[in-house]
Structures are given as C-alpha cells and as structure tokens.
C-alpha cells in the first residue's frame, strides 16, 4: 500500500557534528523521479517513563518534573525522559532515567509503545514505559541538570493538558495512554522485576 509515496536516498552529507546535534542533508529521489534535498537531525532515540505512585488510600498519583527547556525559554512540565546511551537497551535506559531524575525504583514495568516527536526533521523515537510499585532511593542528576519532581492525580494531569499548562508533546501523548489505561480500554502487560 502507498509504495508510490516512497523516497530513496541518492547521497548523504554531514552538515553539522555539534556537541548535541548531528545534522545531515541527503539527496533523495521523489516518487515522480525528481531529486530533492532532505535535512534532518540524527538522534540515538530516547525513553519516557510514566511513574504511578500508589498512595495509602489506594489513590494514584503520577510523578512529573518541572524543567527549564532552553529552546522554549520556559519551565516545562513533563514526564521523566532521557536519551539512550550508546548500545543501551530501551528498558535499561527507562530504569536508569527514572532513578537518576526522580530517585524512584519500580518493581513493575509495562511497555506502552513508541512515538516519533518530529517526523519532519529528526530520526528521534521515544520508547514509552509505565512504572509502578515505586520505592524512593536517591536521585543522581547529570551534571548541569536541574529539575523539580512533583506528583499529581490523573484528573489533575488531564486538566493540565486541557488548559495548556502541559504543552510538551511526549507528556500529552502519555496522558492519552494514562486516560485509556485507567479507564480499562487499553490494558497493558506488566512485568515484575
């Protein structure tokens, strides 16, 4: 289906090898045989973790972060997330990022899915995990990383998505999963560590 939409690589040039950003420009052949240029960021991929805190009364809270995001110029509310280290498996990265950024260890994990944040000009994918049965250890933030951890109810999370307090795409996507998981519509398979 839709094979007539595909583009094929003719050549590739590295445009920028920065400290963070790795940018390429490729010549591609379009479906109508014309030649066009495609510029894009090459990214190793990332994970996002949605941590479920179970409170004494059986109520659920979700662990979020406030972090200043320089390209946006403001403090953003988001679920814990981070880039894969070289050769690192997504699940290992999820466990590591949750511990480093929030201090939490989770006994149960569920793989939720994957999202592509910016399909027009980045190869990045974000692997999505839910984590529950949390116990608190010590945070180990990266050098130069500053963030604040807090928790909200699922209702508060959805309200913040509706009223524009949350605009980070990955966190909005997580809210779609939280809503449908908690309603029982989108069940998940949990693995115990």
Piece of 50-58, 101-109, 132-140, 141-149 that binds a second copy (CB under 8 A): 141-149
Contact in structure between 137 and 96 (CB atoms under 8 Å)? no
β-strands 147-152, 60-69 pairing? antiparallel
β-strands 190-192, 74-78 pairing? unpaired
Q: Is 147 in the site for a second copy (CB under 8 A)?
A: yes
Q: Interaction with a second copy in 174-193: which residues (CB under 8 A)?
A: 175-176, 179-180, 185-186
Nearer to a second copy, 6 or 107 (CB): 6
Piece of 54-62, 93-101, 132-140, 145-153 that binds a second copy (CB under 8 A): 145-153
Q: Is 97 in the site for a second copy (CB under 8 A)?
A: no
Residue from 75, 89, 136, 141 binding a second copy (CB under 8 A): 75
Contact in structure between 8 and 27 (CB atoms under 8 Å)? no
10 Å CB burial of residue 97 (0-12, 13-18, 19+) is buried
Provide the token pair at 170. Answer: 């990955």
Taking the C-alpha atoms of residue 73 and residue 100, their distance in angstroms, rounded to an integer, is: 24
Among 91, 164, 103, 167, smallest CA distance to 130 is for 91
Cα(first)–Cα(last) distance of the chain, in Å? 41
Q: Is 10 in the site for a second copy (CB under 8 A)?
A: no
Nearer to a second copy, 58 or 184 (CB): 184
- Interface residue list for a second copy (CB under 8 A): 2, 4-7, 15-16, 18-21, 23, 25-26, 28, 30-32, 34, 36-41, 66-72, 75-76, 78, 113-126, 144, 146-148, 158, 161-162, 164, 167-170, 172-173, 175-176, 179-180, 185-186
């Amino acid at each position: 289906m839709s094979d007539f939409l595909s583009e094929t690589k003719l050549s590739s040039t590295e445009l920028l090898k920065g400290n963070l950003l790795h940018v390429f420009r490729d010549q591609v052949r379009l479906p109508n045989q014309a030649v066009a240029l495609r510029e894009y960021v090459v990214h190793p991929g990332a994970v996002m973790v949605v941590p479920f805190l179970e409170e004494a009364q059986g109520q659920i809270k979700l662990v979020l972060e406030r972090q200043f995001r320089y390209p946006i110029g403001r403090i953003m509310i988001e679920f814990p997330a981070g880039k894969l280290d070289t050769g690192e498996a997504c699940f290992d990265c999820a466990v590591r990022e949750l511990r480093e950024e929030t201090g939490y260890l989770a006994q149960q994990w569920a793989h939720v899915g994957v999202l592509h944040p910016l399909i027009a000009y980045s190869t990045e994918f974000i692997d999505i995990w839910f984590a529950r049965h949390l116990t608190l250890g010590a945070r180990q933030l990266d050098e130069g990383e500053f963030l604040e951890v807090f928790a909200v109810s699922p209702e508060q999370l959805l309200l913040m998505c509706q009223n524009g307090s949350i605009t980070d795409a990955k966190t909005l996507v997580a809210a779609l999963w939280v809503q449908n998981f908690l309603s029982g519509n989108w069940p998940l398979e949990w693995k115990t560590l």
